[in-house]
Chain A
Amino acid sequence: MSLARYVAVRLLLVVPTVLILYTIVFIVMRVLPGDPVQAALGVHYVPPEELEELRAKLGLDKPLYVQYFEYLAGLLRGDLGESMVFQGRSVWEDIKDKFPATLELTLAAFTVSVIIGFVTGSIAAVKGGLVDRAMRVYGIIAYTMFIPWLGLMLIYIFSVELKLLPSGGRIDPRFIPRDVTGLYIVDSIITGDLRALASALEHLVLPALTLGIVLSGAYTRIVRVHLAEALRSEYSIAYRARGLRESKVLAHALRNSMVPVVTLMGLQLALLLGGAVLTETTFSWPGLGSFLVERVMYRDYTAVQGAVVVFAVIVSLTSIIVDVVYALIDPRIRY
């Protein structure tokens, strides 16, 4: 089977996952007790006619199964309805605006986590002994760190005390680069805008480091275990017996320990996106996570539902990338 067909099959398999998650979200948002319309309008008295009017406008007066399919049809068209609080604002447009910020943050954090994980894990596997134990402790502590706490501590050190880096935001608003991809780093490089690049980078450092460190714990652990195993393995002994330099033996062992690491990347996706919500809130990073939390506080249920459904789609689609990478690394996997 070709890689293209493999991707196509995986895409088909994503459909049930997205449907299941959509259904769960729908049940949570529309079936659980609570009157979203009343909640959205706050504690003040609102005449019942007005409530009914808003309900009808949002389609909340129809039977549940009709709502279920109408929303699903909207999702396929890229229409997630209208904000309940900010009247006239399309939820889909808002989410589209916020998405690049989240993508930029998660990509950077992912890179940081994998680099830290490989460096610490490799050191532990190669050195062994006390270093190995220290890295093991690092792995557990990094994993149990509460993201806002780590983020705020970094802000305290680097923004408040050392005054080196900004404490929040995504870029100095004066320097926003021309919009090409929506990723400020990429856009500023494409347009050759160095001031924008510098500003975007200095804003990205702390959030990416925060989320990256917390996620790195699991990579440290998995690299540590599997690299140590690979270095002791028979094929590594055979490489050495053929007179290969230790650096090359290490390189091949690293590649072999990539296989479980990619599996972990799949499992970590959820942590990456969940962590992004906390990181964005901590650093006032204007992404999907901040959007979600902000709208939760406004009790803007259509926006919350839209954001959660979009997260579900992102998780499902990204899992395909993981599968493809997996198949590319390991020739034993048949696709």
Chain B
Amino acid sequence: MAETIISVRGLKVYYYTLSGVVRAVDGVDLDIARGEWVTIVGESGSGKSTLALSMMGLVLPPGRIVGGSVLFDGVDLTKLSGEELRRLRGKRIGVIFQDPSAYLDPLRTVGSQIAEAVLEHGVASSESDAWRIAEEALEIVGVPASRARAYPHQLSGGQRQRVAIAAAIALNPDVLIADEPTTALDVVVQARIIELLKGLQRRRGLTIVMVTHDIALAGEVSDRIAVMYSGRVVEWGSAERVIGSPLHPYTRLLIDSVPDLWSRRKVRSIPGEPPDPRRPPSGCRFHPRCPLAVEECRSRQPPRVSAADGWAECFFAGEAGGGR
């Protein structure tokens, strides 16, 4: 396997809110290889965005990393100062968010927003140089360079997301974190944005960490998939294997809940509600909703059961594997 670029070990990120401690990420281990596309799948509130953003050391208040480490190219991000992190962000790790309209400053032209970051990292020698790099980045993502002088409100939703991508990749980073990059867009635009990201991954060797609730999309685009539930990665493996023969009952239920145009299979939604992250269930956190749950699931954290290319946290992972 290729060189590991991001290595997450025992990571815990908690939000200290007035109504209690939210354990958004509660003991996660992951290794992401250079150049691959990893997708973190989960329901809202599972901690998937928190996990992805913490891979660039970005934890929004009132959140804090309370344990574990994030190694980026061998450097532990949890031990870096704010200034050291700042120099990394935007230059070696880029990020795009769900709603591109909200994540662009409405008062400034899109070109100046990109060029500013280029200048800030000392890559360009002059303002015109930075502007040229910004225009190139826009061209790369399929936005005419002339649109650099446009304000965000003058662009369409899809164009805005392209601008956000241009800003994220302008400095040719190693990793792009994409937090639900297509959720706010309509289907046709979605497909184009995904295509664009795929092209960037192939041509530039960009490592992509995408977050989505859409397991079908994850299966189509990713090399590997991490399935998250209530702050933990419950299943990890290659996309074909996770979709084709899921080990964890939660993964299987997620796959079964995808509507399928071609088969007449009945769509099943997952029974029950996602757990309250302030008070996660004991033992296996999925047990209250799990069709396979037995007494042991209630009392004990299930072990990590290895498969050929990954693992799942379930007592039945060995037996359930492959069976559909």
Contact = CB atoms under 8 A, between A and B. Distances in A.
Q: Is there a direct interface between A and B, measured as CB atoms under 8 Å apart in the complex?
A: yes
Interface of A: 233-235, 237-245, 248, 252, 255-256, 259, 329-332
Given A238-B97, A331-B153, A332-B153, A243 B121 contact: yes
B97 to A, nearest CB: 7
A243 B116 CA distance: 10
A244 B120 contact: yes
A243 B87 contact: yes
A238 B103 contact: yes
B18 interface: no
Contacts of A252: 105, 107-108
Contacts of B102: 233-235
B300 interface: no
Contacts of B117: 242-244
Closest 4 CB pairs of A and B: A243-B90, A242-B90, A234-B102, A243-B89
A235 B104 contact: yes
Interface of B, helix, strand, loop or mixed by DSSP: loop
Contacts of B56: 241
A168 B56 CA distance: 60
B91 interface: yes
Contact of B151 (A244, A245, A255, A332): A332
The size class of the interface chain B forms with chain A is 20 to 34
A307 B88 CA distance: 63
Contacts of B259: none
Contact of B116 (A235, A240, A244): A244
A238 B168 CA distance: 9
A243 B88 contact: yes
Interface string B81-111: 0000011111100110101001111111000
A239 B105 contact: yes
A183 to B, nearest CB: 32
A329 B107 contact: yes
Given A242-B167, A244-B117, A245-B120, A237 B89 contact: no
B187 interface: no
A241 to B, nearest CB: 5
Contact of B120 (A233, A237, A248, A330): A248
A240 B88 CA distance: 11
Contact of B107 (A243, A248, A255): A255
A252 B103 CA distance: 13
Interface string B68-87: 00000000000000000011
B2 interface: no
A2 to B, nearest CB: 18
A42 to B, nearest CB: 60
B164 interface: yes
Contacts of B164: 238
B188 interface: no
A235 B58 CA distance: 14
B87 A248 contact: no
Nearest to B170: A242
12 contacts: A233-B102, A235-B105, A237-B103, A238-B164, A242-B90, A243-B120, A248-B120, A329-B107, A331-B106, A331-B107, A331-B153, A332-B153
